Amino acid sequence: MPDPSALPPHLTADDLDRLIAGRHAEPFGVLGPRLCDGKRWLVAIVPEAERLEAVFARDMVELARLAGPVFAAQVPKSKYSYRLCAHYADGTRWEHDDPYRFGPVLGEMDRYLLGEGTHRQLWHALGAHVMTHEGVAGVHFALWAPNAQRVSVVGDFNHWNGAQYPMRRVGHTGVWEVFLPGLGDGVIYKYELLDAHGAVRQKADPVGFGAQHPPATASVVRDISGYGWKDGAWMEARETAHRRDQPISIYEVHLGSWKRRWDEGGRPLSYRELATELVEYAVEMGFTHLELLPVSEFPFDGSWGYQPVGLYAPTIRFGPPHEFRDLVDTAHRAGLGVILDWVPGHFPTDAHGLAQFDGTHLYEHADPREGFHQDWNTLIYNYGRTEVRNFLTANALYWFKEYHIDGLRVDAVASMLYRDYSRKDGEWIPNHMGGRENFEAIAFLREMNTIAYGEVPGIMTVAEESTAFTGVSTPVDTGGLGFGFKWNMGWMNDTLRYIEKDPIYRSHDHHLMTFPIDWAWTENFILPISHDEVVHGKRAVIDKMPGDEWEKFANLRAYYGYMWGFPGKKLLFMGCEIAQHGEWNHDKTVDWDALKGENHRGVQTLVRDLNHLYRATPALHRRDCEAAGFKWIANEPEISKIAFTRHGTKDDAPVLVLCNFTPVERPDLAVGVPAAGHWEEVLNTDAAIYGGGNRGNMGGCDSLAGERDGCAQHIRVTLPPLATLFFRLKRN
């Protein structure tokens, strides 16, 4: 250790010890150039260097080693710009700009908003940004870690040595920052923290824009600026497409298993390949939107993305960020919206993630009765902390603004709303009023929806919520949570229970198909047949159907017809549209070979035609969320018959939906209709093109005078076995 009298005036022996040990909390107070007693001193830290020089425009000053990797020298007062040149034992040299000669990047407004926890564009301040600062190209790093004693950026560029690039504190914001010149896009990095307890831990960047391919866990610098969007027409018009009076039919997709390249080791398609193949397929099938299982970076494939670590990073599994934008941009130009599954409810305990980030329970609750999900072995965000709510709300805006995402489907909302979710007595802490509602999570969801709808025109948010919590899709200013739509889990559970039964027993459970209308107008509903219904022993949709091969397919076709006729927007998980056998497996792919079978092709054609009919027929969608859009015609449990009409405005032709859930044909069946005229048979799930027996009504029926089912007019039809028929009144 050098004589303290030989140290630069601003550097103490204690400073030197802490620099060497990588424990100095204020490195910018001692490193870099400093004017002391009329002299300018330069202190630098370069591990493993044998010699170190400061190279000015015309001069070179050799720095003396103080101890370990710390060097110092007196330098000319008038020379501010310099580079460091390190010489190593193997004869190599490294010339670089000294990070400690640069001023802060974060401005006064950033500091104010960060300190307040209200920075709505948080990703502009935190994370790793490729930029030019004070005339030099490099990367600015910024991290929120208020309880850390020291934070450094580490990577291959400094041999993962946390002593080399410690960061500066940004006032009292809890944020640390440093500008590292010479780095750029593609650099691998982590943050090394000396945590609140003096332990050293390495963490991925919570606001990083990229990550290594799992199982590697580092973040990757990604320059997300400068993308040339070509979707202006879609972005201007999408607000109309997301109104509740518009047709919305969603194709839910797990990108990793939609298709694979088996000739290339079974790899999944890239974002750019999906931009061609998936978009073309969804458009051909008549869907209005893609819904993607989470694309935020996640460590474990088996979580399907529902345990994310990098909320701000599109997963590298299918390509870098700009290529994900290619997928979104292509979808938009094809008239297809893109919804992301978003997971603000919990996060995994992986060591490189958010858990005990700075040695404290920074993002999560300390008490496991509030902060641990027993079902998923994950941690729950502390929604009562302003900075955590800001982190999540800004993330929603990030996907909307940076990636032009059209909607977020929020996962597991029920688990957020209730403190006792999936917990026994004594395993949860009541709220301050002694109840089970999670007021902090409710406030967060309202805030997120208010800000998202207020700042980004034309978007939609969707809640996966399975309880009777009221007002999920009611505006915040009238007491609701503010979502645009809610999944109708009750409809899904009831109707699947019904359709799985042998037809001989269905008459006893007819209410399962009719009861959902009793709450159909309480929310803006989406009818989901999602990924959760075809995994974990629940069987593929076709395998849920009873009977022999013919009955299975006829049942499924009739059920899909009922689903597309019933009030509510539509969602179907990939593979269900071709009636593939076998549960979904994230390690495999949709069983496209099934389409070699006529019945499977028939179901696919039916789903396509249902989508096109739904979109082209206002009565089937314009009042999806209003009681005026629906009227019961007949319910006959003893023969498992259902009949109802759908209505739009007075100028829209009404549609009669007629279902037979028995394998018995009903010839010459009288059914009431709300108006006189010719009723066109616009879709019949028993048509031969769908794999049916081609029993129908020769294109339509003329109404007959005479009361039936409470109507003054009726039609006489052939109702095929296990079939759903659509009749539309023909307007002159």
Domains of the chain: 4-101 (2.60.40.10), 108-220 (2.60.40.10), 246-618 (3.20.20.80), 624-729 (2.60.40.1180)
pLDDT at 77: 76
667: tokens are 């010839």
Q: Per residue in 200-218, pLDDT tens? A: 999 999 999 999 999 999 9
Q: How far apart are CA 194 and CA 149, in angstroms?
A: 5
Average pLDDT of the residues in 558-573? 98
Residues 6+ apart with CB under 8 A from 648: 618, 619, 621, 622, 623, 629, 654
- Contact of 401 with 394, CB cutoff 8 Å: no
- 351 pLDDT exceeds 90? yes
- 619 pLDDT exceeds 70? yes
Give the number of other CB atoms < 10 A from CB of residue 408. Answer: 27
Q: pLDDT band for 731, please (50, 70, 90 cuts).
A: confident
Q: How far apart are CA 250 and CA 26, in angstroms?
A: 52
pLDDT at 4: 54
pLDDT at 59: 85
Q: pLDDT band for 732, please (50, 70, 90 cuts).
A: low
- CB half-sphere exposure, 433, CA atoms < 13 A: 6
Residues 6+ apart with CB under 8 A from 205: 127, 128, 141, 143, 189, 190, 191, 219, 310
Q: pLDDT band for 109, please (50, 70, 90 cuts).
A: very high
Is residue 651 part of the annotated active site? The answer reads: no
Average pLDDT of the residues in 254-283? 96
User: In sequence order, what are the beta bridge partners of 723?
Assistant: 660
pLDDT at 6: 67
Q: Which of 380, 471, 360, 463 minimizes the C-alpha distance to 428?
A: 380
Portion of the chain with pLDDT greater than 70, in percent: 99
Task: Please pick, among 195, 364, 464, 624, the residue that the annotation labels catalytic.
Answer: 464
- 24 pLDDT exceeds 60? yes
Q: What does the DSSP 8-state code read for residue 381?
A: B
- 622 pLDDT exceeds 70? yes
What SS3 state is found at 703? coil
Average pLDDT of the residues in 117-141? 97
Q: Is the dihedral of CA 99, 102, 105, 107 positive or negative?
A: positive
Residues 6+ apart with CB under 8 A from 688: 694
Regarding beta strands 485-487 and 525-529, do their DSSP bridges make them parallel or antiparallel, or are they unpaired? parallel
User: In sequence order, what are the beta bridge partners of 270?
Assistant: none
Q: Which of 279, 298, 299, 300 minimizes the C-alpha distance to 289?
A: 279
pLDDT at 2: 55
| Tokens 């849920």, residue located | 544
Is residue 593 part of the annotated active site? The answer reads: no
Tell me the helix, strand and coil percentages in the chain, rounded to 5.
Answer: 30, 25, 40
Q: What does the DSSP 8-state code read for residue 658?
A: E
Q: How far apart are CA 371 and CA 363, in angstroms?
A: 10
| Tokens 């020089």, residue located | 53
Q: What are phi and psi of 106, to 5 degrees?
A: -70, 130
Regarding beta strands 569-573 and 525-529, do their DSSP bridges make them parallel or antiparallel, or are they unpaired? parallel
User: What is the per-residue DSSP string for 503-557?
Assistant: GGGGGGGTHHHHGGGGGTTSS-EEEEE-GGGGSTTS--HHHHS-SSHHHHHHHHH
- Contact of 560 with 611, CB cutoff 8 Å: no
Q: How far apart are CA 556 and CA 79, in angstroms?
A: 79
Average pLDDT of the residues in 632-647? 96
| Tokens 């004693």, residue located | 149
371: tokens are 């902060």
Helices (H), 117-178: 122-125
Query: End-to-end CA distance of the chain, in Å?
Result: 99
Q: How far apart are CA 206 and CA 190, in angstroms?
A: 10
What SS3 state is found at 59? coil
What are the distances in angstroms from CA 651 to CA 3, 654, 674?
94, 9, 14
Q: How far apart are CA 216 and CA 16, in angstroms?
A: 34
pLDDT at 187: 98
Q: Per residue in 389-422, pLDDT tens? A: 999 999 999 999 999 999 999 999 999 999 999 9
Q: pLDDT band for 5, please (50, 70, 90 cuts).
A: low
What integer best gives the mean pLDDT of the chain? 95
Q: pLDDT band for 79, please (50, 70, 90 cuts).
A: low
338: tokens are 């893109």
Q: Which of 375, 391, 392 minimizes the C-alpha distance to 461?
A: 392
Task: Please pick, among 177, 411, 440, 681, the residue that the annotation labels catalytic.
Answer: 411
